[in-house]
Amino acid sequence: MTNTVTEQLTAAGRAIEHDSFAVIEAEVGPHAYSAEQWPLVRRMIHANADFEFNGLTAFHPQAMQAGLARILAGGTPVVADVEMICVGLSKPRLAHFGITTHQFISDPDVIDAARCDNTTRAVQAMRKAHRLGLLDGAIVGIGNAPTALIEVVRLIQHEGLRPALVVGMPVGFVSAAESKDLLMTLTDVPWVAIRGRKGGSTLVVAAIHALLGLAEAHQRNAA
């Protein structure tokens, strides 16, 4: 049996996706990821046709377990640094697990606070999410703004924030690699990250979709 909620909606679409995965499997060959981690890495390669994510993708030891548990619990918020992640995530797949998405990057109060404090909108957006109580127990997805990821790490280290999982994949040339290096020093909060400059919102979406697919398979097998 296959997934019904987290797969493509048409037989033709499913066939293309499955054929694409088969090509990736054949070209990658042996790899160092666990059976639990590999579907996430494979979907990221599928999203960008970039085989370097086989190797660049790094996991906290509890990342997959924590992400799946939180999705299966239902009602989990996904807090993103940019709207692109929220738009890219499949609404039917999110609805199946009662997941809500949140982003505040363009809120007027966030913009005003960034100007007043001489920080970025991304920093203030994460602070707003924290004030609203959305980050604790959430899946946090950061694909665009290194400053958002740095702020999340600061909140974890200094203010006791405890998200369920941080998917930290900001892309860029200023502080992107450094922000992910910082995330990967955390031991008490699970994370998935991409080493170096590569990343992007598309990859965060792919990673979360992979988790949703694994969660549906878990539901099906448990039924």
pLDDT one-digit tens code per residue, 111-166: 999 999 999 999 999 999 999 999 999 999 999 999 999 999 999 999 999 999 99
Residue 101 lies in a domain: yes
128 lies in which domain range? 56-222
Q: What is the pLDDT of residue 100?
A: 97
Average pLDDT over residues 45-53: 95
Residue 104, classified by CB atoms within 10 Å of its CB into exposed (0-12), middle (13-18) or buried (19+), is buried
Average pLDDT over residues 105-113: 97
Residue 18 lies in a domain: no
Concerning whether 46 is annotated as a catalytic residue, the answer is yes
pLDDT at 209 over 60: yes
Mean pLDDT across the chain: 94
- The confidence band for 1, taking pLDDT boundaries of 50, 70 and 90, is low
Residue 33 lies in a domain: no
Residue 144 lies in a domain: yes
Which one of 18, 46, 60, 209 is the catalytic residue? 46
- pTM score, two decimals? 0.94
Q: What is the pLDDT of residue 128?
A: 98
Residue 7 lies in a domain: no
Q: What percent of the chain has pLDDT over 70?
A: 96
Instruction: Count CB-CB contacts under 10 A for residue 212.
Output: 23
Residue 65 lies in a domain: yes
How many separate domains does the chain show?
1
Instruction: Count CB-CB contacts under 10 A for residue 121.
Output: 22
Residue 87 lies in a domain: yes
Taking the C-alpha atoms of residue 137 and residue 55, their distance in angstroms, rounded to an integer, is 28
Cα pseudo-dihedral 192, 33, 197, 193, rounded to 10: 10
Average pLDDT over residues 78-91: 97
Q: What is the domain-level CATH number for residue 130?
A: 3.40.50.10230
Residue 32 lies in a domain: no
